[in-house]
């Protein structure tokens, strides 16, 4: 089977040097493996995504020398696929409507000992896990703001032991077979009122629908993989191999943000920097040489 790689940016800002490293590494690893290369536009958050950023992604990637297959999958055109997956999880009794507001969550989790997820956010307290379904339906009908969350503990118990193959490394150098502990994330959001899916759900559905065999992405998503592997198991989807790579940081050691205009590929190009210069700046060839 021919390997399938993908680069999956969100069009909510200009691509920067960190994206250049990720895309170039991904593309070269794909070439080495003789694979097919896909770009996927992750634009479920309609309030933050803009067509001009999407156009910028294609322009920047082409400028870098990356090429990809057409047509490109745009997540905002496939909400029905995510709804179908959500429906399967609901039918398994693994989803509940969660009504606590941000303020209520903050108040309930103020104790410094309250467990936090790998990104540092307090785990959802889950007061509404046991809410009577008729009462939940009444609140939803009355327009009550809510998110749909996974009953992660039950789901993880049902799924049994979970793992993935890590071809890169996690933040603590984790590599090889990684045991996934989805309970680290508590009850993850699967859909919101304004966005009928979530990053975790749509990424898992799309990687499977597109036949992705290799996911190359930043190390900041290493721990999220535990939630992805759980959803794959519940939905009967294959787990690809993962390659999490180091992040390009600024002079102060901070992760680059889409708001730092000076590292955007567009401003670098406009300042006369070449694609070859970018390749050197991000050290992708050195990174690849170290992987041989």
Where does this chain bind ligand GLU (CB under 6 A)?
8-10, 42, 203, 217, 221
Nearer to ligand GLU, 100 or 203 (CB): 203
Burial of 107 (0-12, 13-18, 19+ CB in 10 A): exposed
Nearer Cβ to ligand GLU (187/207)? 207
CB of 44 to ligand GLU, least distance (A): 9
Show Cβ contacts of residue 170 under 8 Å, excluding neighbours closer than 6 positions: 178, 219, 222, 223, 244
Using CA atoms, how far residue 271 sits from 64, 117, 174, in Å, is 15, 40, 39
> At its nearest, how many Å lie between ligand GLU and the CB of residue 77?
16
Residue 244 near residue 21, CB atoms below 8 Å? no
Which one, 8 or 85, has the nearer CB to ligand GLU? 8
Cβ at position 7, least distance to ligand GLU in Å: 8
Nearer to ligand GLU, 146 or 228 (CB): 228
CB of 8 to ligand GLU, least distance (A): 4
Are the C-beta atoms of residues 57 and 41 closer than 8 Å to each other? yes
Nearer to ligand GLU, 6 or 151 (CB): 6
The two tokens of residue 184 are 């680290």
Q: Which is nearer to ligand GLU, 190 or 203 (CB)?
A: 203
Distance from the Cα of residue 104 to its chain's centroid = 26
Shortest Å distance, C-beta 226 to ligand GLU? 13
Which residue's structure tokens are 């933050």?
48
Closest distance of CB 96 from ligand GLU, Å: 25
3-state secondary structure string across 193-248: CCCCCCHHHHHHHHHHHCCCCEEEEEHHHCCHHHHHHHHHHHHCCCCCEEEEECCC
Where are the strands (E) in 102-213, listed by range? 147-150, 163-166, 176-179, 189-192
Quick one: 82 or 96, whose CB is closer to ligand GLU? 82
Residue 143 Cβ, how far from ligand GLU at the closest point, in Å?
Answer: 30
Q: Please say whether the beta carbons of 159 and 230 come within 8 A.
A: yes
- How do strand 95-98 and strand 4-7 relate by DSSP bridges? unpaired
């Amino acid at each position: 089977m021919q390997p399938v790689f993908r680069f999956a940016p969100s069009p909510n800002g200009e691509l920067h040097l960190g994206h250049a490293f990720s895309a170039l590494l991904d593309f070269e690893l794909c070439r080495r493996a003789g694979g097919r290369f896909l770009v996927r536009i992750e634009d479920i958050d309609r309030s933050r995504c803009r067509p001009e950023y999407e156009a910028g992604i294609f322009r920047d990637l082409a400028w870098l020398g990356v090429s990809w297959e057409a047509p490109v999958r745009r997540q905002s055109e496939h909400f029905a696929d995510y709804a179908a997956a959500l429906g399967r999880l609901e039918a398994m009794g693994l989803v509940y409507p969660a009504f606590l507001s941000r303020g209520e969550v903050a108040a309930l989790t103020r104790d410094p000992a309250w467990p936090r997820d790998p990104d540092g956010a307090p785990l959802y307290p889950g007061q509404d896990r046991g809410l009577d379904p008729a009462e939940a339906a009444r609140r939803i009908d009355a327009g009550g703001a809510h998110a749909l969350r996974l009953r992660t503990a039950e789901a993880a118990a049902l799924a049994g032991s979970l793992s993935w193959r890590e071809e890169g490394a996690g933040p603590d150098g984790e590599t090889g077979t990684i045991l996934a502990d989805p309970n680290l994330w508590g009850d993850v959001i699967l859909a919101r009122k304004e966005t009928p899916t979530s990053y975790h759900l749509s990424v898992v559905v799309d990687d499977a629908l597109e036949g992705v065999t290799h996911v190359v992405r930043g190390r900041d998503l290493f721990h999220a993989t535990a939630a992805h592997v759980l959803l794959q198991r519940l939905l009967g989807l294959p787990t690809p191999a993962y390659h999490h790579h180091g992040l390009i940081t600024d002079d102060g050691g901070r992760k680059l943000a889409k708001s730092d205009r000076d590292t955007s590929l567009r401003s670098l190009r406009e300042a006369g920097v070449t694609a070859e210069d970018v390749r050197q700046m991000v050290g992708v060839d050195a990174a690849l040489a170290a992987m041989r």
